Structures are given as C-alpha cells and as structure tokens.
Structure 1
Amino acid sequence: MSTGIHHAQITIPRNEEEKAKDFYCGILGLKEIDKPESLKKRGGFWLQAGNLEVHAGTEDGFDRFQTKAHLAYEVTDLNLWRNKLADQGIIILESVPIPGMERFEFRDPFGNRVEMLQRVNKEDSKNESLV
C-alpha cells in the first residue's frame, strides 16, 4: 500500500549542477539536501520542497522542451513569484484555468516545464466575479 509520494525527479544536462543550483536554490529558494554518498558519483543533487524531495538527476540527449512533464510548486503568493521570475528574465506562460487554483508556468534554464500555483479561496473568487 502506498502512503504518499517521497520524491519526484527532474533531469538536467551533465555537468550543469552549479547552474541548476543557482536556479533552483538561488531563484526558487529550494533547500539543497544531502544526497547519499553511494549516489553522488551519478551527478545531480537533491532538494527539499515542503514535504517532498526533488531529485535533480543528470541526463544528456533529451529535449526537455518537447515534454509536458513537470513539477507544480504550490505557493502562497503567486503574484510575488510571477514578478520575481519576470525580473529574472524568465518568460511566464499563462496556464489553462482550473477550478480553485490560479497558476502559470515557465521553463527552467534547461527546458524543464515548471508550474507555480496558488489555491484560491472560493469566497474571494465569488467576490472577484462581482467586480
């Protein structure tokens, strides 16, 4: 029986760990966590995102722009992130609306699709529709 999701993995090109850490730790503010010594020779690094680990593994010969695969990070202030990413020159792509969520997406420096989303209070949504 599954009790939840422990981690998700993204891939980055080999030897691009520092550039990826600059983006994921420096810009997105995720915390790097220790990777077991037995796995370090494979390259990549691990991150903590709330209760979920994100493993950045290395993989060459893959066009990350050709996939819809992605991670979605839930945030408390979507507009703050929209502005912060835009200030970094990151192109923001509007997402198809879904009930109860505001969201947008973008690509990391390697082409990985990333989504940011924020839960919308149903009462706030009702009030916004009246404006």
Structure 2
Amino acid sequence: MTITGVHHAQITIPVGAEEQARHYYCHLLGLPEIEKPDSLMGRGGFWLLVGDLQVHVGVEDGFERTSTKAHLAYQVTDIALWRQRLEEHNFTILDGVPIPGYERFETRDPFGNRLEFIQACA
C-alpha cells in the first residue's frame, strides 16, 4: 500500500468568475484547459493540465483567499521573464524566503489565491 504521486490539486475562485480565471490561467499563464467529466460539468469551474498534474479550478463563495498561506508552486523556466510578464500585467510580486538552489517569487491571482513560481538555479 503506497501513495504513488499527486493526481491533482484544487484552487477555488468566486462563483461566476470562470471567464476571468480562464483569461488569467489559460491566456496569461498559458496553461491548457482539459475537459471535465460530464458528471462534474454542472458544478462550475474548469480543469487545467500542468505537466503531468491536473489543477482543478473550482467555484466557492464565502472564503477569503488572501488570508491563507496555502498555494501552488509552479516550476518554470526563465523565472525572470515570468516575473516581468506578471509585473507588466500589474500583479504584485513578492520575493519568497530564499531556498538554497532555487530562485522563486510569489504573487496572487486575481481572486487572491497565492501562487509561487520557482526555478532551480543552474
């Protein structure tokens, strides 16, 4: 009996904000949307593919996303360009606590979800 990996992680956005979230995650970040099973279509939200991992973007009201340290960390190439791209779109960039062997920064999506961008140093 073994846990062999992580299948998906879920974040939430406010009910009715799917198009704004698609713009951020699919267009700005370039993540591909994948089809949800028919049995879950009526629940709102959408799914993304990040490498071999799925990120499920669910809908939920009544939650203050900026009050939590919970986050997803996106492993990236060319972290400087990611920082620049997000700054150009007026997202606040925060430097994370240093981790030896990595460059990283944090930001929040339009809904307050904390995101980390991380790249191993060469």
TM-score normalised by structure 2 residue count: 0.98
Q: Trace 1:1-131 onto structure 2 (pairs within 5 A).
A: 1-121=2-122
CA distance in 1, matches of 2:96, 2:5: 26
Identical pairs, percent: 61
CA distance in 2, matches of 1:11, 1:90: 19
- Cα distance, 1:2 vs structure 2: 1.1
Deviation string, structure 1 residues 35-76 (Cα, Å, up to 9, x no partner): 001001000000000110000000000000000000000001
Paired amino acid for 2:31: L
CA distance in 2, matches of 1:35, 1:11: 16
Q: Which runs of 5+ in 1 are unaligned?
A: 122-131
TM-score normalised by structure 1 residue count: 0.91
SS at match of 1:56: strand
Q: Which runs of 5+ in 2 are unaligned?
A: none
RMSD between aligned residues: 0.5
CA distance in 2, matches of 1:18, 1:40: 15
How many residues were matched structurally?
121
CA distance in 2, matches of 1:14, 1:37: 19
CA distance in 1, matches of 2:35, 2:3: 24
Larger Rg: 1
Deviation string, structure 1 residues 86-111 (Cα, Å, up to 9, x no partner): 00011101110001110000000000
Paired amino acid for 1:29: G
